Structure 1
């Protein structure tokens, strides 16, 4: 049976018109709706994909191609329906399905996984070549991956983008989504089974696109919703590595650090997974030091908010939460957010205290309304400037900042 929600309405000039669910089985509108139509809809309007709900901080996706050609050996071939990337090198693979064939319901998840695995075996150059081949077949301009993404985001750095794409291919890190209309319950159960395989570096999601139209077909309404998704689990990680013989193999690592508050495996995001990998690459051993620091900060109510960077947040009775700093994947610490949102004075005191630890200073901006820690050379400090040497002092500064913020709030109530 098809999922049932309330009937959507279009209201214009105080007149309400109900929208009816479009039948995509092909029985009522043969030839009008097919999987090619759905692929094109997603390619032309990637904003339909609820990536922020699937992976917070994933970023805006840029369509690379449709029908990415893949080879599986023994003469077997296939094609991934839609392929997207972000300016940060994030990857999103989509299989678009209209549920007309019962067989498709039983095989689509396995097919999506098989296709994704084939992509993960590609090098950056092979992946770029496959995208170029798909674009040529579709009569699209032949461009490099970087050129495609740069058209949507001028700020993208070519070297960092290429490195991130290559790293995510090697690690098997991507969002894999099955997107369709009327996804059946049996697929939701299958997605739940995928969740039991701890440690995958990909996130798998089932996304339903419900499509409605007015009675005169003049208005079409498309609404996406995430029905089910998996998550990374910190206890173990499955990754793809070189075997040393010119081949790649799947390797299951040992248990990673577990939460100190529970013996259950901790769910993590792809953003967190990649953050620690890049951080350790540039500062070996720093991820373990940072995890220990975050565990201690958690006792103060400071939590890690994983977006495009790591934000150190503390809940607040009203308005914006406290932000005690942002750490990027390169290991730089920006403490300016501590003085945002009318927190000029307590933010300055916090930044001055941190600056003193590293013989730096608190640089003021916006006519003294905001401030941020800078080194003696006027540069943004690195995480290594504070950890592990000044860990306790930083925690003490956090505690005083939080106490001052709550006291200031109490005095204004």
Structure 2
């Protein structure tokens, strides 16, 4: 048996291949019997639509224990995989279990071809699970997980900048999330007012798809489990709302309702939980933080932000939640940064702490894997990229100061930004002359 730390490292390295290789429906009873999953998780997983999402949910459920360096669940998972492969003749699962065993005991690396060997290696047809392959957009996501990211804090960083295809509309204060390999952008406004639309950018093709009309404006965006959610906002009739909608084939449907109605909030998701932070209640900014449990359909009140904020940025990096900038009382743009460790997905306790202010106001936040937090752009001619780094698997930060790792050729503030693999995409915002624009800057870490 390997050390607890090696179990966790093997889990992280194998994560993408586990999602692609596990025939989750066929293995589910074995996983419950083997103590990998509690019985209640089976009922929750039955409601999830696709096998890949079920596998991801299963692994996310295990992650809390693994981060606490409790290897029992992962050891049991490997045993179930080995037993299942013997009984069902599933060569992909067998090979994956063998590779993980090697990594745990020797510190080696996983075979690069393990995840997609079903079509060439499997000769038996005893199980329908032998045909498993990821959809194209999910294969892309797996590849991004495996793309190496350089040490952004302790080395000289080289970022190559390119221009992406301009967005269909100019926008500021919008949100952007990665969903099914594409970047969804919405919730912002331009010189003509708030926008009732979500635009979709396909990074591999460097093109924008058809825009999707939205019933609300000034909303938050997040991806919870396998759904893209629009959180709060303002309807055409005025006021603020508590509705959360989900997207299905370019149409929006009711998902749940927040206890607190608001627009200009930020929403982030971790495993089966969605966290909604701050916003505008129609009269003033709010500090309210509420958590939605997707498995039970219940909302919980969390510890408030230290100050009311709206049009804020929130990101999760590993097991830490960050809140960056935003607008506070008096319509003042703040440089403040707050963070809290997420003790577990079921805990609503947040112990907010203060990080060093961002170098300038109106910066966009980008989470890079489970280690780095970037603050990009901002209201300055310098228009820089700054980084904070987590130290190991704990929740402390290397430094209370931000490190400058590069400058963006074009000015972006009140923009949105996401990371895919070793690239960051910065979309829209204002330029130095305070004109709202639709430019896209793509930075590749070399």
Shared fold per TM-score greater than 0.5: no
TM range (shorter): under 0.3
User: TM-score scaled to structure 2, two decimals?
Assistant: 0.26
User: TM-score scaled to structure 1, two decimals?
Assistant: 0.27
Comparing both structures, which one devotes a greater share of its residues to strand? 2
